Amino acid sequence: MITTYNIIRAICLFLFISISAVGLCNATDNVIIDNAIETYTIIASKDGQNIEKVKAKIETTYTAQRTDEKVIAGLSYNNFSSVDKASAPGAKPSYIPNYEEGIFYDDTKICLLYFNIKKGENATAKFEKTYKKAEYFTSISFGEGYFIRNKIVKIIVPKSIAERIKIAEKSFNSNITSSQSTGDKGETIYTYIITNQKANKPEDNAPELSTIVPRIYIYGQFANVQELYDYLRQYTLTPDPDIETVNTLAKQLTSNSNNKRESIELITYWVQQNIRYIAVEHGEYGQRPDIASEVLRKRYGDCKGMSSLLKAMLTAIGIDTRLTWIGTTSITQRWEEVPNLSSGDHMICSVIDEDSILFLDGTTAHLPIGYYTQSIQGQQALIENGDTYILKDVPIQSPYNNCDFTQATFHIEENNLIGEISKKLSGAIKMGFSTILKDFDASKRQDFINAYLRYPRKNVSISNVIIKGDSISSPFTTISATISEQDACQHLSDAIYIDLMPLRNGLIESYNLKDRQNDIQISNRQRYVSDITIVIPDGFTASYIPEDFTLNNEWFSLSIKYHATPNSITCNSNLIINKTIIPIEKASLWNNIARQVKQANGEQITLILKQPEY
Amino acid sequence: MNKFILSIIFIGLGIGSSNAATYDEKFFKKAAEIVWAMELPDFNPTVEIPDTSLYDGESAIILAAYTGVNIKLSERFNLSKFSSTGKEFTSATDAKITTRIMIKLNDSKAVEEYSEFDIDSKDKESISNYSYQYTNSAFGARIHKPSGEIINVDCKEAFTVTSGKGRKEKAEEHKIAIPGLEPGDVLEYFYYDETWLDEFDLDPIIFTFAQRYPIITYKIECNIDPTLTLEYRNLNGAPLLYGGPVKDGIRTLEVTAIHLAKREFGNWMSPARQIPYIKMRVLNNNSTLTYRPKSARRGGIFCSLPIKHYFDDISYILHDFDPPVKIVSRATKITKKYIGKHPNLTQRQIIDAAWLATVYSALIDEGTHSNIALSTYFPDVLKKLKIKNDIGIGVINSIKDVPITEILHWKDPDYMNMVGDSCYIFTGDFCFKPGEHIGEYEGEEAAVFWGDRKEFDQISAVMIQLPTSRASQNTFRTDINASLNLDDNNIIDINRTVTFKGAVKSVASKLIDSGRYIKRIEDFLEIEEKDRHKLKNDSVKIKEKHEKIFRAEAESIIGVEPRDILSYNITEIGATPDEPNVTYNMACNVDGLVKRAGKDLVLSIGKLFGNQTEITGSKRERKSAIVLESPSQNRYVLNFTIPDGYIVNETSLSMVNKNIINECGAFYAQAKVSDNILTIQINERYLHYVIPIEKWDKFLEIIDARAAFSNTSIVLNHK
């Protein structure tokens, strides 16, 4: 039914897409921010020791340079903040819910002002906002959906807490200058001036905006990590009246378990397989994990709920398991560096065993125990430890953990390569495959498997598909099939040209750099190995075998090697991706590298008719 | 305090302190009592699922579905209506619609799909203080576990999404995640919607007999107040509704259908013509505040009403319509000026100019002009120009909608004009010239009212049929000149000219925006600079948008993403008689298509001939006819300069040649070498726009050949 609500929802979604994605990015855009000033005034508590609240005033002047245009100015808020005033010429504020992908329900709203600006004129949107809870005043982004000619951001800290409140700068560029001064009443004033800054522009294959848009983090609400930990921990101490159901299940599941590791696996996989991810994040539920018995009853939860259940179940069978707060790679700072709520966006568990820590993530189904997603590798984990805490980095794992090992043996029939193929997937690659497979309708899963096996070719027939190890607990998934790659060869009267394509994963590709602003992020750190053998048809011999190709750079190492015998040719390729961010200033270099790889991958094997022996 | 004052305070407190953040518990409870009490024996969670291919291997199976529609007329005194409109009594459609589903969830995919539900919240629409629409929705669910346990879902677990602030905060929708759901469960849920709508008509109600998953039993029950007008059609083989028992003077209409296959999704489909469904309208033709044609039926049940009745409605709509004078005046003035500059125009040329002037005048006007409105402006303009041809206003549907003989309301069809044998219709695509045959309407029947619109109330529509076209009339042609880049012979430089002719111009419509169209008309009609429309579009933004569109277009038509787009230029947009085709040029380059084989080269030449849909896996099994927009022909001619030091391998060259011909069409490829130029031509032809399913294999032969061609390579031997 078309209701007012659905229209608003569509506008909201469109808004976020349109503000960000219309390619508004430089001074020649029609609408720019000519001038803006944001002032954040921190108000101390009565005893002068803490932050009571923060008052923000935001005034942004937009100019339409070439034609009349409608402008949308917006400011988000939630249960811990409020938009007290909002105005712009000819605009009436509307307050609409915010929809964020992956969040089922939260309390974020946006105050929107729609107004028209005539060509050559400007108009100012004004907002006043109150942050009612100091701990949620954690960061200020300097990014906008429009080009910024000039913007000033001021943070005013009262004298009584000036020593305590600190600011960390992240992702700054040369368009931003910062300074510090003292006001008449001894307050500390931090001033940031942003000039000629391009608009935020979501682009394909770009890192998270949170890691590239300049921002500041305000901390000191918690004196140190201990205070922050105490604050977070209080939310985990909710009694669970129905914990016995959780304990009973845990014991049932592990009744036949032979050892501790097996018990951990049984329980972790059970949680991953049976608890759906549904994120409810309003108010304090952004920090408070759901109690274990509720997660179990509902059969759904977010990362906090899943961790809560995982901890309870493992604890029930005597395994020392702790809740663990962590920032994924969307977060650029560590707990020690910036001890505030913005340094974490995820929760996992830690199993403590003497000197070792095993991290468990309830949300990563199909990733075997002991493997970690790239999003938490290298990140600092804040692990509960009673009244104290432990800080520990999640290990950075070898790209060898995430492997696609392809083996194939082909013979040639007319223009086709026909044979058997198998793929053995591990780590994040296995997880990706299994997760996507599960998301297909049962009746369409075969289509996906076939598409996966034949990528990137077209005109390929697949049959006799067998999948092994596709359960959640299996460390590897193996897919094997009979495959016929049509027109992969040119079978001429006296020669055969074979388009082997040893690299079949599409990972090393060039990118369109026209007007691109942001770095490029390629997939996970991973390894791709292929071993492909072609049986030389009777009467033919190898005439040309491509030279071995080796390429090493800061992002990956690649080798493609050929070996010929009288009866067969084997090609072994080995690609290891070590680094996944390509800085924009190196993107041209990357493209050149990618083209070299493409060329090497396209080299043809040539067979010719054997000369008759006399 | 007396009761009256107390009640005012209570209401006042209620309004002030109403908790916008909760669902309407009382309403939900009432709905649950109604719905769960319904006697529906088919809702059996342990029903045996037949062992047929219909249900095999599905993530979910709908065990039972029910839709109940109860609609009455509500006439009551309403003070605020009286003060706003002068009419004291409501004439409201009071509708209660129940949708109840029982679905077996076989795997986690189905559990994910059915674990979250959105529920509209209470809402009302008002003009001043007169509320003319109230809506409210309730939801309920319960889980039948394999053990036999039934778990009722408590709607208190729902969350309410709100908008507004402070006292104006209101619920927009409710969201619920079903707790405790697991694979193997049977989920039973319902939506119960109440709508009270004064004077206006409800939206049409659609009962679809092909859903996301197969259905074992689907029951429909309708109870409609006989003073309202119920009109419906069963389409594409959907069953009829049968008269059931009479209760309180209202006859129930009902039907039960069993073993319904899941909906087929795929390429080349027209759901409106292929999926079985019943379309129903419940009209309040008693309304005196909203317009009703004189012929509208005042109460009763009408199943598959003879189409003449809807054509009569349309005749009155057209008769009664009063177009704004300024559009017709402006268009007439523009055309007269154009005629003045070209005194030797033929009648047809004048008519075409008048059409362009009419569309232009409507486009540049700040108001919104419907299809119906446009169809009345044009004859009025022609009348003012004293054009004597047979002029008519007609209605038609495209192949994407039901045939014109199956419409259910005067709002359903598209409105157009006939002038002699030519059909003038504006579809929103800016690339069709006046009177041009538009593929999606070809072969369709239309109903036309000829003559003066003010006499339509006295005449009947005349049925005509638009002609069909031949494939050669709807062609897409690409001429490509390609060569290895002089500086880097891993790169192929490409210059292309692309021409769209006839119905296939609709493919190019995304390249042409309204601004370009308006300018083209102004140029064609020689409108003076001072009189031209001042476009408010941002030319820079449009250029950026075009670049993105062209990049995507290039990838689609070339077949690989270009490395660089060097230039592009649209030379014709196909909107005027002097430039009937859409044509553009593009210069770009691509890499990755030149592969080395020792000293030889292997060119992946097939990749330069565009992306062709490949039909694989389950998509190769199909049950529905193939529906295209028109017969068509796609032609590519590639001239590739053979680099110095190389010759084309003869055997490789001969392997390019292909020839597939069957009753659906053809695919033909030919390669030759002459004067150091390798020329490859491909021609892909589809003779018909609707292909019966029995010919699916033949159609696939052409599609497969075309898709396989993208793998074509040519060997260049080093001399």
For residue A250, what is the domain's CATH number? 3.10.620.30
pLDDT of residue B129: 87
> Does residue B311 belong to any structural domain of this protein?
no
**Are B420 and B476 within one domain?**
no
User: A536 is written with which tokens?
Assistant: 């030389």
Q: Which residues in chain A are closer than 8 Å to B536, comparing Cβ atoms?
A: 67-68
Minimum-distance CB partner of B708 among A280, A487, A497: A487
Segment B287-303 mean pLDDT: 92
**Are B341 and B290 within one domain?**
no
Hunting for tokens 């005449």 — which residue is that? B459
Residue B682 clears pLDDT 90, i.e. is over it: yes
**Are A122 and A210 within one domain?**
yes
**Are B477 and B464 within one domain?**
no
pLDDT of residue B52: 87
Q: How many domains does chain A have?
A: 3
Task: Evaluate the omega torsion of the peptide bond into residue B643 and state whether it is cis, within 30 degrees of 0.
Answer: no
**Are A477 and A408 within one domain?**
yes
Cβ–Cβ under 8 Å, residues A537 and A494: no
Contact of B166 with chain A, judged by CB distance below 8 Å, is answered with no
> Does residue A614 belong to any structural domain of this protein?
no
In SS3 terms, B517-537 reads as: HHHHHHHHCCCCHHHCCCCCC
Give the model's confidence band at A18: pLDDT under 50 very low, under 70 low, under 90 confident, else very high: very low
- Closest residue in B to A272 (Cα) is B108
Residue A175 clears pLDDT 50, i.e. is over it: yes
- Four-point Cα dihedral B210, B213, B219, B222, nearest 10: -60
Q: Which of B420, B461, B470 is nearest to B442 (CA)?
A: B470
- Which residues span the domain enclosing B359? 317-468
- Extract the runs of DSSP E, i.e. beta strands, from B30-129: 60-74, 92-105, 116-120, 123-127
Put simply, the chain B residues between 221 and 280 with a CB less than 8 A from any chain A CB are none
Q: Which of A352, A375, A394, A326 is nearest to A525 (CA)?
A: A375
**Are A234 and A211 within one domain?**
no
Residue A95 clears pLDDT 50, i.e. is over it: yes
Q: Which residues in chain A are closer than 8 Å to B136, comparing Cβ atoms?
A: none
Contact of B715 with chain A, judged by CB distance below 8 Å, is answered with yes
**Are B223 and B210 within one domain?**
yes
User: What is the pairing mode between strands A526-535 and A403-413?
Assistant: parallel
Cβ–Cβ under 8 Å, residues B581 and B574: yes
Give the model's confidence band at A9: pLDDT under 50 very low, under 70 low, under 90 confident, else very high: very low
How far apart are the C-alpha atoms of B105 and B182, rounded to whole Å?
8
How far apart are the C-alpha atoms of B713 and A492, rounded to whole Å?
12
Helices (H), B342-370: 347-364
**Are A453 and A373 within one domain?**
no
Cβ–Cβ under 8 Å, residues A32 and A148: yes
Cα three-residue angle A328-A435-A293, rounded to 5 degrees: 70
How far apart are the C-alpha atoms of A264 and A532, rounded to whole Å?
38
Pick from A8, A25, A99, A105 the residue to mutate for testing the B interface (most B CBs within 10 Å).
A105
- Closest residue in A to B178 (Cα) is A298
Looking at the complex, report in whole angstroms how far the Cα of residue B649 sits from the nearest Cα belonging to chain A: 9
**Are B646 and B709 within one domain?**
yes
pLDDT of residue A614: 61
**Are B567 and B546 within one domain?**
yes
The β-bridge partners of A211 are: none
How far apart are the C-alpha atoms of B492 and B672, rounded to whole Å?
19
**Are B478 and B457 within one domain?**
no
Tell me which amino acid residue B427 is.
T
pLDDT of residue B597: 94
Give the model's confidence band at B2: pLDDT under 50 very low, under 70 low, under 90 confident, else very high: very low
**Are A149 and A70 within one domain?**
yes
> Does residue B51 belong to any structural domain of this protein?
no
In Å, what is the CA distance from A495 to each residue of A415, A544, A579, B649? 11, 11, 41, 11
Strand ranges of the sheet holding B677-686, from the earlier edge strand across to the other edge: B564-573, B582-591, B491-501, B475-484, B632-641, B677-686, B665-674, B658-662
Which of left, alpha, beta for B286 (phi over 0: left; psi -120 to 50: alpha)? alpha
B602–A497 C-beta distance less than 8 A: yes
Q: Which of A536, A524, A528, A512 is nearest to A588 (CA)?
A: A512
Segment A20-35 mean pLDDT: 70
**Are A189 and A275 within one domain?**
no
Segment B677-688 mean pLDDT: 97
Domain boundary among B248, B270, B305: B305
**Are A341 and A426 within one domain?**
no
How far apart are the C-alpha atoms of A548 and A562, rounded to whole Å?
6
> pLDDT tens for residues B527-545?
999 999 988 778 788 888 8
Tell me A280's DSSP state.
B
**Are A337 and A351 within one domain?**
yes
> pLDDT tens for residues A29-53?
899 999 999 999 999 999 988 899 9
Cβ–Cβ under 8 Å, residues A276 and A302: no
pLDDT of residue B347: 95
Minimum-distance CB partner of B598 among A415, A447, A543: A543
Give the model's confidence band at B7: pLDDT under 50 very low, under 70 low, under 90 confident, else very high: very low
> Does residue B8 belong to any structural domain of this protein?
no
Minimum-distance CB partner of B120 among A3, A23, A439: A3
In Å, what is the CA distance from B663 to each residue of A68, B658, B667? 55, 17, 12
Segment A202-215 mean pLDDT: 91
Q: How many domains does chain B have?
A: 3
**Are A293 and A184 within one domain?**
no
Contact of A509 with chain B, judged by CB distance below 8 Å, is answered with no
pLDDT of residue B188: 98
Residue A11 clears pLDDT 50, i.e. is over it: no
In chain B, pLDDT over 90 holds for what percent of residues? 82
How far apart are the C-alpha atoms of B572 and B523, rounded to whole Å?
12
Domain boundary among A200, A220, A240: A220
Q: b/e map of A487-521 (b: 16 or more CB within 10 Å)?
A: bbbbbbeebbbbbbbbbbbebbbbbbeeebebbbb
Cβ–Cβ under 8 Å, residues A98 and A11: no
Domain boundary among A175, A202, A220: A220
Minimum-distance CB partner of A490 among B592, B602, B617: B602
Q: How many CB atoms lie within 10 A of CB A430?
A: 26
Give the model's confidence band at B553: pLDDT under 50 very low, under 70 low, under 90 confident, else very high: confident
Segment A576-583 mean pLDDT: 95
Hunting for tokens 């075998």 — which residue is that? A545
Pick from B487, B545, B591, B654 the residue to mutate for testing the A interface (most A CBs within 10 Å).
B591
Looking at the complex, report in whole angstroms how far the Cα of residue B523 sits from the nearest Cα belonging to chain A: 22
Hunting for tokens 């979250």 — which residue is that? B116
When the pLDDT of each residue in chain A is averaged and rounded to a whole number, the result is: 92
**Are A159 and A203 within one domain?**
yes
User: B170 is written with which tokens?
Assistant: 């209101």
In Å, what is the CA distance from A434 to each residue of A375, A407, A428, B673? 18, 20, 10, 49
Q: Which of A384, A376, A380 is nearest to A360 (CA)?
A: A376
A451–B591 C-beta distance less than 8 A: no
Q: Dihedral of CA B49/B53/B56/B61: which sign?
A: negative
> Does residue B12 belong to any structural domain of this protein?
no
Residue A97 clears pLDDT 70, i.e. is over it: yes
> Does residue B37 belong to any structural domain of this protein?
no
- Which residues span the domain enclosing A239? 228-397
Q: Which residues in chain B are closer than 8 Å to A94, comparing Cβ atoms?
A: 163
> Does residue B518 belong to any structural domain of this protein?
no
> pLDDT tens for residues A526-536?
999 999 999 99
> pLDDT tens for residues A495-550?
999 999 999 988 899 999 988 999 999 988 999 999 999 999 999 999 999 999 99
Q: How many CB atoms lie within 10 A of CB B438?
A: 23
How far apart are the C-alpha atoms of B689 and B708, rounded to whole Å?
23
In Å, what is the CA distance from A417 to each residue of A279, A579, B95, B385? 48, 34, 64, 70
In Å, what is the CA distance from A597 to each residue of A458, A556, A575, A592, B605? 21, 11, 11, 9, 20
Segment A306-310 mean pLDDT: 98
Residue B304, CA atoms < 13 Å, CB-side half-sphere = 11
Residue A22 clears pLDDT 70, i.e. is over it: no
Q: Dihedral of CA B508/B512/B514/B519: which sign?
A: negative
Segment B40-69 mean pLDDT: 95
**Are B411 and B434 within one domain?**
yes
Residue A14 clears pLDDT 70, i.e. is over it: no
How far apart are the C-alpha atoms of A344 and A336, rounded to whole Å?
12
Looking at the complex, report in whole angstroms how far the Cα of residue A306 sits from the nearest Cα belonging to chain B: 14
Give the list of residues 6+ apart from residue B34 with CB closer than 8 angstroms, or none: B98, B192
For residue A538, what is the domain's CATH number? 2.60.120.1130
User: B503 is written with which tokens?
Assistant: 């119905």
When the pLDDT of each residue in chain B is averaged and rounded to a whole number, the result is: 92
**Are A332 and A433 within one domain?**
no
Q: Which long-range contacts (CB under 8 A, 24 or more apart) does A471-475 make?
A: A472/A269, A472/A272, A472/A273, A472/A365, A472/A366, A472/A434, A473/A265, A473/A266, A473/A269, A473/A368, A474/A368, A475/A368, A475/A426, A475/A430
B135–A1 C-beta distance less than 8 A: yes
Domain boundary among B305, B333, B359: B305
> Does residue B558 belong to any structural domain of this protein?
yes
Q: Is B715 helix (H, G, I), strand (E, B) or coil?
A: strand
Residue B10 clears pLDDT 70, i.e. is over it: no
Cβ–Cβ under 8 Å, residues B106 and A442: yes
- Closest residue in B to A5 (Cα) is B172
Q: Is A95 helix (H, G, I), strand (E, B) or coil?
A: strand
> pLDDT tens for residues B456-491?
999 999 999 999 999 999 999 999 999 999 888 899
Give one DSSP letter per residue of A148-201, joined into a string. EEEEEEEEEE-GGGTTT-EEEEES--TTEEEEEEE-TTS-EEEEEEEEEEPPP-
Residue B1 clears pLDDT 50, i.e. is over it: no
> pLDDT tens for residues B156-198?
999 999 999 988 899 999 999 999 999 999 999 999 999 999 9
Tell me B448's DSSP state.
E
Contact of B536 with chain A, judged by CB distance below 8 Å, is answered with yes
> pLDDT tens for residues A104-163?
999 999 999 999 999 999 999 999 999 999 999 999 999 999 999 999 999 999 999 999
Residue B9 clears pLDDT 60, i.e. is over it: no
Contact of B488 with chain A, judged by CB distance below 8 Å, is answered with no
Contact of A116 with chain B, judged by CB distance below 8 Å, is answered with no
**Are A324 and A409 within one domain?**
no
Q: Which residues in chain B are closer than 8 Å to A441, comparing Cβ atoms?
A: 58-59, 109
**Helix H or strand E segment including B231:** strand B229-235
> Does residue A559 belong to any structural domain of this protein?
yes
Domain boundary among B468, B500, B521: B468
> pLDDT tens for residues B223-250?
999 999 999 999 999 999 998 888 787 8
**Are B191 and B73 within one domain?**
yes
Q: Dihedral of CA B561/B562/B567/B569: which sign?
A: negative
For residue A171, what is the domain's CATH number? 2.60.40.3140
> pLDDT tens for residues B602-658?
999 999 998 788 999 999 999 999 999 999 999 999 999 999 999 999 999 999 999
**Are B260 and B272 within one domain?**
yes
For residue B706, what is the domain's CATH number? 2.60.120.1130
> Does residue B11 belong to any structural domain of this protein?
no
**Are B335 and B296 within one domain?**
no
Contact of A97 with chain B, judged by CB distance below 8 Å, is answered with yes
Domain boundary among A370, A397, A424: A397
pLDDT of residue A464: 96
**Are B543 and B643 within one domain?**
yes
